[in-house]
Amino acid sequence: MSRPAVSGARRVVVKVGSSSLTTASGGLDPARVRDLVDHLAGVRARGAELVLVSSGAIAAGLAPLAFRRRPRDLARQQAAASVGQGILVHRYTEEFARHGQVTGQVLLTVDDVTRRNHYRNAQRTFDKLLELGAVPIVNENDTVATSEIRFGDNDRLAALVAHLVHADLLVLLSDVDGLYDAPPGRPGSTLLADVHSWDDVTGVEVRGAGSAGVGTGGMETKLDAARIATGAGIPVVLTDTAHAGEALTGAVTGTLFHATGRRRPTRLLWLAHATEPRGRLVLDAGAVRAVTERRASLLPAGVTDVGGSFVAGDPVELVGPEGRPIARGLVNYDAVELPGLLGRSTHDLARELGAAYEREVVHRDDLVVL
Ligand SMILES: Nc1ncnc2c1ncn2[C@@H]1O[C@H](COP(=O)(O)OP(=O)(O)O)[C@@H](O)[C@H]1O
Ligand SMILES: N[C@@H](CCC(=O)OP(=O)(O)O)C(=O)O
């Protein structure tokens, strides 16, 4: 049996977790990297394009820095990632070279997929690398990401990258061979071979990171990633590295999450699924209707209250008069500017304060209704 949505994919994003690349004691395992690349190289060999999102920088940096386990504080994680990322990419470069394939490193922060100019930049870089036949190897730019601007997990990053590069398949490789209806160690838990809609996942019990102590998000972030990708029209296969070969050629293995939705702009996907809002705008009833029913931009006249500390470009939550979240958007003003503008018409504001104040609080193109 085969899965045509998988075997026919022309552009594939594969995400591999730290737990699939490390030894039991936590260091990078060159033999596991080699086995993995032997399978991955098959994608390019059959004429399809490959983007690899690989975790493992922090794990690879532990031993050289004599850290006995993954550090909890951000500064030590950043130091480990800085040391480990070079080691990781060096390993991949050597292994892909054995198959005559060239790799390129791409390190991303949240800004690269949320700020319009940045994500166009990222898109161009990926397009050019793929056009030149190289395999982009992606990781979060851990060494510069602060806790506020951190993805924190590569599962969701991989889903956003899949969308950004217009991939037609996302493969998540972990240390577990698919999604189980309960944590896999539990007697009687069974594998779900197909997930057609999110109703199929109701009742599934998931836990955080696995036993090796090197992974971060566990099954939860994999489900988030699957939700982001399938909701944007990209099917997702979840399995372990031992089944990578089968998964990549479309054999039935692991869990296939079927596509449920269609594409929308990458930064809006990020807004809807993964962003921590930095503030809150309270809307009056008329503005709620305008935003949700007419898909209009949010103007100062419809905002009754502002909370949080944010600057222009930050994600904020839009709530109705009774406090229920209705949308998320990228705001066009700093939090300190807004109180003086609330309830006033753009016409008045422009006349009194200048043309710059004619702008919307949240433009409709930067807004997702929940
Ligand atoms: N319902 C579930 N089905 C499958 N795996 C689960 C489930 N709940 C929790 N897990 C755990 O999630 C772990 C995978 O996550 P993680 O350790 O973060 O891996 P990675 O390093 O590949 O990102 C597995 O080891 C598994 O024990
Ligand atoms: N960027 C980090 C990995 C973060 C992450 O998501 O890890 P994992 O859960 O193993 O996929 C690193 O390279 O160590």
Distance from the CA of 223 to the center of ligand 2, in angstroms?
Answer: 16
Q: What's the pTM value of the predicted model, to 2 decimals?
A: 0.83
Bridge partners for 303 per DSSP: 283
Distance from the CA of 156 to the center of ligand 1, in angstroms?
Answer: 14
Report in angstroms the alpha-carbon separations of 315 from 302, 312, 363, 366: 18, 9, 12, 9
Distance (Å, whole) CA 41 – CA 158: 19
Q: Which residues contact 64 (CB under 8 A, 6 or more apart)?
A: 83, 84, 87
Closest C-alpha residue for ligand 2 atom 3: 55
Distance from the CA of 157 to the center of ligand 1, in angstroms?
Answer: 17
Closest C-alpha residue for ligand 1 atom 23: 17
Q: For the chain, what are the domain ranges?
A: 4-270, 276-369
Q: What is the ipTM, given to two decimal places?
A: 0.94
User: What is the CATH code for 276-369?
Assistant: 2.30.130.10
Backbone angles phi, psi at 322, to 5 degrees: -95, 10
Q: Please list the pLDDT of the chain residue by residue as tens digits (370 residues).
A: 678 888 889 999 999 999 899 887 778 999 999 999 999 999 999 999 999 999 999 999 999 999 988 888 889 999 999 999 999 999 999 999 999 999 999 999 887 877 667 788 999 999 999 999 999 999 999 888 776 667 778 999 999 999 999 999 999 999 999 999 998 888 889 999 999 998 899 888 887 555 445 555 689 899 999 999 999 999 999 999 999 999 999 899 999 999 987 777 777 777 777 677 889 999 999 999 999 999 999 999 999 999 999 999 888 999 999 999 999 999 999 999 999 999 888 888 888 888 888 889 999 989 989 8
Distance from the CA of 16 to the center of ligand 1, in angstroms?
Answer: 12
Q: Which residues contact 114 (CB under 8 A, 6 or more apart)?
A: 267, 270, 271, 275, 315, 330
Report in angstroms the alpha-carbon separations of 204 from 111, 189, 201, 266: 33, 10, 5, 28
Structure letter (DSSP) for residue 148:
T
The angle, 0 to 180 degrees and rounded to 10, between the axes of the packed helices 154-164 and 218-231 is 10
Domain 4-270: give its CATH superfamily.
Acetylglutamate kinase-like (3.40.1160.10)
Our answer on whether the CB atom of 152 is closer than 6 Å to any ligand 1 atom is: no
**Residues placed in the known binding site for substrate:** 55, 142, 154
Contact 330, 267 (CB under 8 A): yes
Collapsing DSSP states into helix, strand and coil, what is residue 296? coil
